[in-house]
Amino acid sequence: MIDSTYVPPKVWTWEQESGGKFARINRPVAGATHDKALPVGRHPLQLYSLATPNGVKVTILLEELLGAGHAGAEYDAHLVRIDEGEQFASGFVEVNPNSKIPALLDRSRDPPVRVFESGSILLYLAEKFGAFVPRDAAGRAECLNWLFWQVGSTPYLGGGFGHFYRYAPDKYEYPINRYTMEVKRQLDVLDRLLATRRYVAGDEYTIADMAIWPWYGGLVSNEVYQAAEFLDAQAYVHLLRWTGEVACRPAVQRGRMVNRAWGDPAGQLRERHGASDFDLRTQDRLEGMPEG
Ligand SMILES: N[C@@H](CCC(=O)N[C@@H](CS)C(=O)NCC(=O)O)C(=O)O
């Protein structure tokens, strides 16, 4: 099947926008586009993010750490509007030269430590607080197997399937088929795994669950790319069981709200600067709930 008659030139040049949802911010070069310092709050950890699945991984872990009593995990979460190019501000580029959310600055160390790439942030925080990574060698290896599986596999889901199925200005059968094949294979990998164990790495809930849930849990519960029907998500029963179980965790419910700037206002906490920031939101939701 031929989708297009495009013949690549000898040397590609950047001449026009390609169209599509994020075409306006896409560039073939790195670096800052403008001078702007990052805001800094009062807590040791400064997070610069947005509640996309990559952002939510980190806010879930921070809320889990705080829920488990690690007071040193207090954080300020600053909203980065990637649709407005804020990831190209000079201050952001200093923390993440790759210009992608999430990015973290640990100001409890001198000099402060920058951490970027969501998988790296999860591991950094889990090691800093000694939590959510098994201590034994076999358990730790299995947890990291799945953490790195997510980091390596999800670009096929996001940049591949999500782009061509949801965001591309025109729908082409060839790339949608190619990436649907791969995404369904990945869903089957997880479904078979979760048929044999409660959590991704075993009996223990770990950073591997926190990395995988926002993407693959989001996909089968129709929150990511609205593709659950297209992918026949109801067939992945073990993945759905785990998705529901993780979704019920209070820290997950808090974490997914942080730096969220779209959708139901009751599910948004655009900036988080303290635990009490959730109280008003919770109140809003409870007031809107039917009683029993
Ligand atoms: N591998 C990176 C991916 C991060 C990423 O792609 N972030 C997206 C939002 S989910 C972003 O900041 N996009 C802005 C851009 O591409 O300019 C990670 O896991 O942290």
Return all residues near 273 (Cβ < 8 A) that are at least 6 apart. 41, 42, 43, 76, 77
3-state secondary structure of 20: coil
Q: What is the pLDDT at residue 75?
A: 98
Q: What is the pLDDT at residue 291?
A: 41
Judged against a pLDDT cut of 50, whether residue 103 lies above it is answered with yes
Judged against a pLDDT cut of 60, whether residue 282 lies above it is answered with no
Mutate-to-test residue for ligand 1 from 100, 117, 260, highest number of ligand atoms within 8 A of CB? 100
Together in a domain, 206 and 160:
yes
Q: How far apart are CA 246 and CA 19, in angstroms?
A: 36
Judged against a pLDDT cut of 50, whether residue 288 lies above it is answered with no
| Total number of domains in the chain | 2
Together in a domain, 181 and 119:
no
Q: What is the pLDDT of residues 46-72, one digit of tens each?
A: 999 999 999 999 999 999 999 999 999
Judged against a pLDDT cut of 50, whether residue 290 lies above it is answered with no
Mean pLDDT of the chain: 94
Together in a domain, 46 and 190:
no
Together in a domain, 156 and 181:
yes
Among the atoms of ligand 1, which is closest to the Cα of residue 102?
A: 20
Asked if 216 and 187 touch (Cβ cutoff 8 Å), the reply is yes
* CA of residue 137 to ligand 1 center, whole Å: 31
Judged against a pLDDT cut of 60, whether residue 81 lies above it is answered with yes
Higher pLDDT, 26 or 60: 60
Q: Give the domain extent around 274.
A: 14-132+249-282
* Closest among 220, 292, 275 to 67, alpha carbons compared: 275
3-state secondary structure of 278: helix
Judged against a pLDDT cut of 80, whether residue 116 lies above it is answered with yes
* CA of residue 150 to ligand 1 center, whole Å: 14
Among the atoms of ligand 1, which is closest to the Cα of residue 50?
A: 9
* CA of residue 191 to ligand 1 center, whole Å: 26
Among the atoms of ligand 1, which is closest to the Cα of residue 121?
A: 20
Name residues contacting ligand 1 (CB within 6 A). 25, 52, 54, 82, 87, 99-102, 117-119
Lookup: tokens for 177: 């088929």
Q: What is the pLDDT at residue 289?
A: 44
3-state secondary structure of 106: strand
Q: What is the pLDDT of residues 154-187, one digit of tens each?
A: 999 999 999 999 999 999 999 999 999 999 999 9
pTM for the model:
0.94
Average pLDDT over residues 17-46: 88
Domain of 239, CATH number, reads 1.20.1050.10
Lookup: tokens for 164: 């061509």
Together in a domain, 61 and 198:
no
Judged against a pLDDT cut of 60, whether residue 292 lies above it is answered with no
Q: What is the pLDDT of residues 259-271, one digit of tens each?
A: 999 999 999 999 9
* CA of residue 47 to ligand 1 center, whole Å: 14
Please work out, in degrees rounded to the nearest 5, the angle formed at the alpha carbon of residue 244 by the alpha carbons of 230 and 256: 90
Average pLDDT over residues 266-284: 86
